[in-house]
Every structure is written in structure tokens, then in C-alpha cells.
Amino acid sequence: MLLPAARATSKSNIIQRIQEIVPLGSPEPQDPQVLTILTELTADLIQAYQAEGQLQEDPFTDVWKRTIHLYESAVSSRVQGKVVLVTGGEGCVGSELVKKLVELGARQVVSVDKARCANLYNLTPNKVQKQAIALYAADIRNYPALKYIFETEKPDIVFHLAAQRLPGLAEVQIRETVTTAICGTQHIIQLCEEYGVQQCIFASTGKAARYFTAEVYAASKKLCEWQIAQAAQKGNVTYGMVRFTHMLNNSSVCQQISDKIQQSKIINIHAPHRYITAQNIHEALHLLLNALVLSQPKTLKFLTVRNLGWPTETLEIALYKIIESGKQLPIYFQGLLPGYEEPCFLGQFDWSQPTEINLLINALENSQVEASGDMMIAELACFSSKVLDKHLSIIRTLTDNLSLPEANIKYELKTAIKEVTTSIFAQTSPQTLLKILKWGTNPKQLVSEGISLEHHRDIIELIAQGLYGRLTQKCLLETYKNIIEFETLVKSLETLPSIQQEVTYLKAVSQSNSYDISSMVSIPPSSFAFCS
């Protein structure tokens, strides 16, 4: 028989008690006695939050109110009298963008979305609002259907929004997610070039700012960014990009919690101390439209919201919604699910300017505050087109083979990200790589997060390989003022068996009296063999 323990009062004690009753990874509890105790603990947790001044208002109040500048006159002059095509035009952001483009004077807005496709492709457009909008039911993976639409409508401008938007579902529908992202984006690029489109704006995600990711959603978006960047350099179309974060108007997190509350069911949360950064749909629209004005030929610039505010705890969201409902409901922590497991690598951000850190831009992406002050404008780090093309070809071959297990596609995604990132690090200065390594392996921060270097093994391996054969002790001492600090790090890297050659090299650098020991390197790691 499960007996309630003495009532805990602090947030951490209550959370610990909830996890003792339902350990992470356990199935959803059904026992009435367990649910009763969890309900009491949830009520205690609400009180503990309120005692610290939280849960007094919607945690996203500031996000809902935020706005960013829109260069409306300049945008209007770009779209006035033009045909504008929007993929994913019936989604949350896409549908609002379609309406806004009509307001701004577009002659016709063409929405391409698979939402109403069922098993057929409707290539007879449903035109509404005095012929200003044409709605096509078509999947961007269907090249002939897409080509028909371009041939029929002759768009001047394209906004490419269509994608799988749920990281968790992407881990289940791997082939569909990858083909929608990579093949769909290639179709858009090819047709934009063929039909003389003036501008193409791509909507990406802040998750693509990671140097390395094995998650299907983030990895496929990252490859799309590289596709667009490559097209910008080689093609005739002017390409632009935006990175979104969690969209409040279409929040899967908030919707899941609301659904459970409406059904008076127990609410599942991934884990305590999990946070999301959010934005509203008006910010998204303004980013997309401003990208028309701020994009430049032959290079890929991307925009993000500059002031994203503090990340919001998902637990706080759930507790506030319980209060708002007036119900007494229990919560439990189900554990992290595929698509949401990767911890944040702090070396992703440029800590030399901590007041300007943006969670959607990494330290290698040259960024600056845009003139309005509301946006950041940045560009991707240089990468090897040859390596990208090789892996795009492999991915297309794998996805075409319907008998192949989808796990093979995911493995190739991971490999592609690793090798293209390696090509980036090969062109990054060793001083910068050292800084990234230092920021990302801060021992105090790792302890506070309850993780080890092993959790960041993949990215640490790539950085160590990027440093191999390129360091001087002078460079080292400019980054690590205390050589003991660096030697402590190198010792901790010995726990990663795959980089022992690199660890030996780093040891030699720290111990050498010479300012340049590159002559010590005989054979570079094989992972650099493809770099040019």
C-alpha cells in the first residue's frame, strides 16, 4: 500500500517526491491512490511557485505583447502587383501570411498545401476573395504537381514554409519528414530557378543553430538551410531565410496540456527544468516579410527576433493552466521523448558578448543587430558544397528505397550533419574552436545540469578533430589564461575513447615549450580526408 510521505514544501522537494512516486520513463499512472497523492503534490507545487511570486499571470504575457518593426512600405513595393506563392499556406503562419500578402497588394497569392490532399492532388485551384487567393492541394514532394502550379501561376516571389513541424512526430515519420524537408526544398529551388522567381524566403527553426544534431526534425532543417545557402551562391534567385522558435499561436506543448485539462486527465510533462523560448505569430510574419527587403543576391542572410526574453519552464506553463481551469489535477514527469532529448551545448553561443546572446544563432554565424533594433541578421558559416552534395545524393537514394528501414535514413542524417560540420570546423580558426570548447565544457555548468562530457560527445569529437594539427601554444594561452585549466579539460577528454589521438595531440601542445608544434603531426584523422 502506498502511503503519503510528510508534506514537502520546497519546489525541489515536491518535484523529487513526484519522481519517486512515478519514476521517469514509467507508464502513465492509473492507480487511484497514486493519482490522489499526485494531485495533492501538484497543489503543493502550485503553492510553492506562488510563494516565490510565480503563476500570477500567463507565463507568456510578455511574448503575446511583443512586436517587431515591419518595413511595410518597402515590403509593399516588393509585393505590389506580384504573384506570390506560399508553401504550407494553410498552416498557422502560412494562412496569416497569405492574408497579409493580399492586404499588402499582391495581385495573387498562391497557397500550396497538402492539408486537403487526402489521396489525391487537386490541381484545380479554389479561388476566393475576388480571385486574389488560389488554393492548391498539393504535396511539395510531388514534383510534377508542383511544376504544374509554377507553370500555371508563374510566381514572382516564393515563401517556403511547408514542413513537418513536430520534433516528436518526425522521429516516427522519418522518411516523410526527410523527403518533405530535403526533396521538397530541392523541388522549390529547382522550380524557382527554372521559372525566374525573383525572391525565395525559407522558414527554418532555431534548432538548426546547433553545430551537431542527430534529431530528425533539427537535422533535416539544418540540411535544408545548407541547400538554400548553396542555391543562394550558385543560382540567379535572391534567397532569404528566417529562423523561428516555439510559435505560441500553434503551440503543441500548450495544446497538449489544454487537451488533458479539458478531459480532466493527468498531465504529462517531459521533465522538470525544461524550458522553451517562444514568439508570436506577428513576429513571425514580420520576419518573413522583412526578409524580402533585407535579403541580398548571392548570399544567404537570415533573420531572427532579437529579444526573445527569458525561456519559460514547461512545468510552470502546466501549473498556470491548471490554476486557470479551476480544476484540481495531477502532473507527472514522463521522461524525455525522442526528438527532445539533446541537451543544450553552451559552446553554441558566443559568450564574449553575453548581453547579445541569441538562442537561435550560433557562435560561428556572423551576426549583428539589424538597423531597426528588433531583429538579428546573420549568415551561415562556410561549408563544403562537395560534401553536402554527396550526402544529399545518398539521402535521396535511401528515401527512394521504400523497403529500407527508416533507421538507416536517420543514421545517414547524422552522418551528413557530422561531415558537413567537420567541413565547417576545418575552415574555422583554432582560436574560435578553442573558445567553443571552453564555453561548452565548463565543469561547473555541467555539474549544475547533472550531465557529463559524454552527453556532448559528438560535438566535442568534432571540435577536437577540428583542432588537430592546427594549434600553437600561444593560441592556447590566449584562450586559457591558466594552462592548468586546459590540462584538466584534456584529462577529462580521455574519457572519450574515439578521440585519443586528438587528446594526445592536445596534451603535447599544452606541454610543449615551442610556440608551434604542428610538425609533430604525422597523419591527420581520417575524418578530414574529404575536406578541400
DSSP string across 452-491: -GGGGHHHHHHHHHHHTTT--HHHHHHH-SSHHHHHHHHH
Q: Within this chain, do residues 185 and 296 fall inside the same structural domain, yes or no?
A: yes
Q: How far apart are CA 361 and CA 382, in angstroms?
A: 15
372 with 449, same domain: the answer is no
Q: In the block, which residue shows the cell 495544446?
A: 255
The per-type count for the chain, helices as H runs and strands as E runs, is 21, 16
Please give the DSSP secondary-structure letter assigned to residue 56.
S
Give me the pLDDT at residue 8, please: 61
Same domain (yes/no): 258, 323 = yes
Q: Are residues 200 and 311 in the same domain?
A: yes
Domain boundary among 378, 407, 440: 378
Inter-axis angle of helices 11-21 and 32-51, nearest 10: 170
Helical H runs in 195-234?
216-234
What confidence score (pLDDT) does residue 234 get?
97
pLDDT for 116: 64
Strands (E), 322-395: 331-333, 367-369, 375-379
In DSSP terms, 122 is beta-bridged to: 137
- Residue stretches of the chain with pLDDT short of 70: 1-8, 116-131, 513-532
Same domain assignment for residues 443 and 341: no
The pLDDT value given to residue 530: 32
Query: Considering the domain boundaries, does residue 186 fall inside one?
Result: yes
Angle of CA points 265, 266, 271, to nearest 5°: 145
Helix (H) or strand (E) holding 143: helix 143-153
- Residues in Cβ contact with 270 at an 8 Å cutoff, skipping those fewer than 6 apart: 314, 333, 334, 335, 336, 337, 340
The closest of 444, 252, 289 to 374, measured between CA atoms, is 289
Supply 237's cell numbers. Answer: 534567385
> Any idea which residue has 492574408 for its cell?
99
What's the pLDDT score for residue 428?
97
Cα–Cα distance between 338 and 375 in angstroms, integer?
31
**pLDDT value of residue 213:** 97
Residue 449's domain comprises 428-528
In the chain, the number of structural domains is: 2
- Do 151 and 91 share a structural domain? yes
Name 134's bridge partners: 110, 127
- The DSSP element (H or E) to which 316 belongs, if any, is helix 314-325
CATH number of the domain that residue 165 is part of: 3.40.50.720
Phi, psi of 46, deg, nearest 5: -60, -45
- Do the Cβ atoms of 207 and 167 come closer than 8 Å? yes
For residue 388, being part of any structural domain is answered with no
Whether residue 99 sits in one domain with residue 229: yes
Q: What is the model's pLDDT at position 152?
A: 97
Nearest 5°: CA angle at 173, between 169 and 177? Answer: 90
Q: Verify that 86 and 225 share a domain, yes or no.
A: yes
Residue 30 CB contacts under 8 Å (≥ 6 apart), including other chains: none
282 and 137 in one domain? yes
Residue 344 lies in a domain: yes
- pLDDT, residue 7, reads 58
Residue 14 domain-assigned? no
> Is 434 found in the same domain as 374?
no
411 lies in some domain = no
Where is 370: in which H helix or E strand?
Answer: none
- Answer whether residue 109 is part of any domain: yes
What is the crossing angle of helices 406-426 and 385-400, to 10°? 180
At 441, is the secondary structure helix, strand, or coil?
A: coil
Classify residue 331: in a domain, yes or no.
Answer: yes
Residue 102 placed within a domain: yes
Is residue 302 helix, strand or coil?
strand
Q: Are residues 365 and 434 in the same domain?
A: no
Is 460 in the same domain as 343?
no
